[in-house]
Amino acid sequence: MPTPRTTAAAAAARIVRDEGVDHAFGCPDAPGAPLYAAFAAAGLGRLTARHPQSAVHMADGWARASGRTGVVVAGAASGPGLVPGLHTAHADGVPLVCLAAGPGAAGPARPVTKQVLPAASAARLPWALREAFRTAREGRPGPVLVELSPGTAEAELAYAPAADAPLPVRSGAPRPHQVTAALELLLAARRPLLLAGGGVPESGAGTALRALAERLGVPFVDTPGGRGCAGDGHALHVGSVGCPPGTGDRALAAADCVLAVGTGRGADLLAGARTVVQVDTDPAALGGYGTSGLGIVADARLFLEALLGAAGEGTERPARPWTGPARATARATARAAGPKSGPVPAGRVHAEIDAVLGTDPDTCFVLTEEVYAEWGGAALPVRRERRLLLRGRGGPPGWEIPAALGARTALSATAPDAVLVGIGAGPGLPYPAEELAVAAEYGVPYVQLLLDRDERGPDAVRLAGAYGCSGRRVTGRDDLRPALEWARKETVSTRRPALVSVLAAPEV
């Protein structure tokens, strides 16, 4: 039987669906039109951004919330506009595949991608796309660009879907002797501590981390990127490190052996520890902290599962109480009442967020690391992994709103009733505010919280209204909870974003 023929665009749509993607993002132009048509025919959802950079950020947010590889479609004219978004994904280790139709995109994008794969003919596109998905996920995740030559998407090729499948990704399993050495160091320590970085939720290792902590009776802390990976409310979770310093930092300073998993290149976090066992998929992330220890290149989930297996049932040790009092103090501080009028203290903001939204374990927060640090993001109620999405400090402006749209789109498939909260800071809406019009057009509901110190009351509420969204201004603590409750209901009834602009002070 002869192999059936189809267009390269139709084959690409089939591959994208087969790789676990149900939405694509882009900024359409004529070269990309055949891909958009084929994706729509295959049942893939789509959000059309106002700017190519926003399209990449939407795919970025979708990937972070879903744990899968985001997909961007763009024409050649969008090439330079893609660069800031690709740079953000590259810096933060987010897996993306960008399909650029037409020449010209590869040059500007090459420094901010893991790889550029040319598809000069229709016959080459299926392999290039499969290789792009493999490369985007393997090792430290990141963006990959597939550049289609003119006319490639419309051209026909012989394509047999039954003979095509995702390419295998190297597992990143640890070596047995490394697992044994790490376990011996943990068991010999008087004050051992587990440190979970962003690589833990990225690999789905939260369950293994929690089980290991329970089996060995070892407390754990997390970085901002690792928040929620094993449960903020767990008895052995003693806080978060960095942004700003708090209970997790005190536990880290007191530990005599730290098992740091998936922390990336944050060696400064580990500078005070006596012994460090660092596990990361990126070899360049290991070392540099000036202490004795062990560096292991491995996938976080596979390493923790191997360590859990090596520990067995007979190696339990009593939990150490040395971090308990500091944790209780931090919780009391985060819920300070603050004055009834004037700027609302950040601690009060987080207390009201916890009261209104914290009971839902699927509540998801989208913000930058700068906002997280300045406004006490460690107090946010993060109950599950992939429910705190942070853009790192290496990213350019323009991420927050598009990423929130992408993340909300991803949650619609797995947690349709979950509330997504974008948090921005400043006298006006985060750039680019015009993407709120995209959210209104496509029915993407979420709460946008704006924290600012402008007594005059910036006109962010009016601007949100101009883009088809609702908004309220809060200037005192007693108005904050009703406004958050209103916003939660408003997004459900209108299927559009709702803005709450708060006159606030960053001191917790």
pLDDT band at 285 (very low <50, low <70, confident <90, very high): confident
Write down the pTM of the prediction. 0.92
Task: State yes or no: pLDDT of 5 exceeds 60.
Answer: yes
Residue 321 phi, psi (nearest 5): -90, 10
CB 134 within 8 A of CB 87: no
pLDDT band at 457 (very low <50, low <70, confident <90, very high): low
Q: Which of 118, 87, 123, 114 is nearest to 100 (CA)?
A: 118
The pLDDT > 70 percentage for the chain reads 89
Distance, in Å, from the CA atom of 313 to the CA atom of 321, rounded to the nearest integer, reads 22
Q: What Rg do the C-alpha atoms of the chain give, in angstroms?
A: 23
Angle at 189 between CA 186 and CA 194, to 5 degrees: 50
Pure H helices in 358-476: 369-374, 400-414, 435-442, 460-466
DSSP assignments along 339-387, one per residue: -SSSSEEHHHHHHHHHHHHTT-TT-EEEEEHHHHHHTTGGGS---STTS
Predicted local confidence at residue 334, as pLDDT: 44
Task: State yes or no: pLDDT of 326 exceeds 60.
Answer: no
Q: What is the pLDDT of residues 270-283, one digit of tens each?
A: 766 678 899 999 88
Predicted local confidence at residue 230, as pLDDT: 73
- Judged by DSSP in three states, 312 sits in coil
CB 9 within 8 A of CB 34: yes
Distance, in Å, from the CA atom of 344 to the CA atom of 120, rounded to the nearest integer, reads 57
3-state percent breakdown (helix, strand, coil) of the chain, nearest 5: 45, 20, 35
Predicted local confidence at residue 332, as pLDDT: 37
Q: Per-residue pLDDT averaged across 23-44, rounded?
A: 88
CB 498 within 8 A of CB 461: no
Residue 432 phi, psi (nearest 5): -95, 115
Q: Which amino acid is at 377?
A: G
Predicted local confidence at residue 316, as pLDDT: 56
- 357 backbone φψ class: left, alpha, beta (φ>0; ψ -120 to 50): alpha
pLDDT band at 31 (very low <50, low <70, confident <90, very high): confident
Distance, in Å, from the CA atom of 10 to the CA atom of 360, rounded to the nearest integer, reads 40
Task: State yes or no: pLDDT of 290 exceeds 90.
Answer: no
Q: Name the more confident of 56 and 229.
A: 56
Predicted local confidence at residue 288, as pLDDT: 65
Q: What is the pLDDT of residues 422-444, one digit of tens each?
A: 999 988 888 899 999 999 999 99
Task: State yes or no: pLDDT of 450 exceeds 70.
Answer: yes
From first CA to last CA, the distance across the chain in angstroms is 70
Strand-pairing partners, residue 208, are: none
